Homo-oligomer: A and B are copies of this chain.
Amino acid sequence: MALREGDLVVIWIDPRRVYLARVEGGKKLETDKGFINLGDLIGKEYGDVVKISKGLAFVMRPSLDYIYAGLHRPSQVLYPKDIGYMIFKSGISPGDIVVEAGTGSGFLTISLAHFLGDRGRVITYDVREDMQEKARKNVNFLGYSDRVEFKIGDVREKIEERDVNAVFLDMPDPWLAVNNAYKALKPSGVLVVFVPTTNQIEKTYFSMKEIGYANVEVVELILREYQVKENATRPRSIGVAHTGYIITGRKSIKGSSEIT
């Protein structure tokens, strides 16, 4: 399947130079290793290698981890290691409806939209309109606008949806929103919370237990990257040592406080 005008591509030069772009006649992608005429990609295929001034570039099919690397994004964003686990634990499947707050850079929004498929739906809340504009552009660029509904609003005050499959909270004070999340969830639906500090763990955990979530769990994932060389394989010396903690729990209809 040859690439055509308008197709999304990832231009991959090396692990630090990953660009998300669209095939478009007359447009250029500039990098510090040289430029690519995006119109020249017409007729190429995903997987092809193209020349740039200072080497080669790989034309890849966009996928979540390249989108992660290629999105213009603010400094704080959820990492693939955390998102993978959060989605797994949330129990969601294609076609489900989920609520998320805050929108942030929109990377979790996009990941959810990706896994929910074209019959699924993400409702994403943020209190800041400017942040959502950036996320909206990212969502539109990837063609996921039909799957995502943007709302300006404070989930600590209200979540309008009911009977959703899962709620994801990545915000400074999630314990103030766990009650509204409870109301929004289907029975047996999952609340997934991400917090960076130890102090937030306890507040969130006890709010969840009090309100009626069961099976509340707290975990942390540490990712180590390995560098592989013949006879000299080892973890990389320097790396991300911490992102945050993931807290999950399930809505029980009643009496969950009696259950640990």
Interface residues of A (CB under 8 A from B): 12, 14-15, 45-49, 56, 58-61, 63-66, 80-81, 83-91, 93-95, 111, 114-118, 186-190, 196-199, 201-202, 205-206, 214-228, 230-245, 250-256, 258-260
Contact = CB atoms under 8 A, between A and B. Distances in A.
B186 A46 contact: yes
A233 B197 contact: yes
Task: Name, among A86, A224, A258, the residue most crowded by chain B CB atoms within 10 Å (CB to CB).
Answer: A224
A148 to B, nearest CB: 15
Contacts of A219: 81, 223-226
B188 A231 contact: no
A49 B253 contact: yes
B230 A206 contact: yes
A224 B222 contact: yes
- What are the 4 closest A-B residue pairs judged by CB atoms, nearest first? A47-B187, A63-B91, A94-B117, A84-B84
A182 to B, nearest CB: 11
Contacts of A221: 81, 221-224
B232 A242 contact: no
